[in-house]
């Protein structure tokens, strides 16, 4: 579930192993490139955290972030 805090949407994902986490990140990267909206994210082994905000809007959460978050959710 995405949470909104400090002008960011955030969600953590846990996978079976590093390969699954990396595959997910690859799919997210393709979505982000298509939407021209690139997340801040971290990855440690099987955990991926994604933070979304719109830089052009003063680092606030916008419809652009919600659209990418919805698209990411459909990957799960």
> Any idea where the domains of the chain sit in the sequence?
3-73
pLDDT at 5: 95
Q: What is the pLDDT averaged over residues 50-73?
A: 96
User: Nearest to residue 31, comparing CAs of 72, 70, 74?
Assistant: 72
pLDDT of residue 72: 98
Pick the CATH number of 3-73 from 3.30.1360.20, 3.90.470.20, 2.40.50.100, 3.40.50.720: 3.30.1360.20
Per-residue exposure over 13-35, b if at least 16 CB sit within 10 Å of its own CB, e if not: bebeeeeebeebbeebeebbeee
- Tell me: the pLDDT tens digits for 7-61? 999 999 999 999 999 999 999 999 999 999 999 999 999 999 999 999 989 999 9
Q: State the Cα–Cα distance between residues 32 and 16, nearest whole angstrom.
A: 23
pTM above 0.85, yes or no: yes
């Amino acid at each position: 579930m995405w949470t909104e805090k400090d002008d960011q949407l955030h969600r953590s994902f846990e996978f079976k192993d590093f390969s699954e986490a990396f595959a997910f990140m690859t799919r997210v990267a393709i979505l982000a490139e298509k939407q021209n909206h690139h997340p801040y994210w971290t990855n440690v082994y099987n955990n991926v955290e994604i933070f979304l905000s719109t830089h052009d809007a003063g680092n606030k959460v916008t419809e652009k972030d919600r659209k990418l978050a919805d698209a990411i959710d459909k990957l799960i």
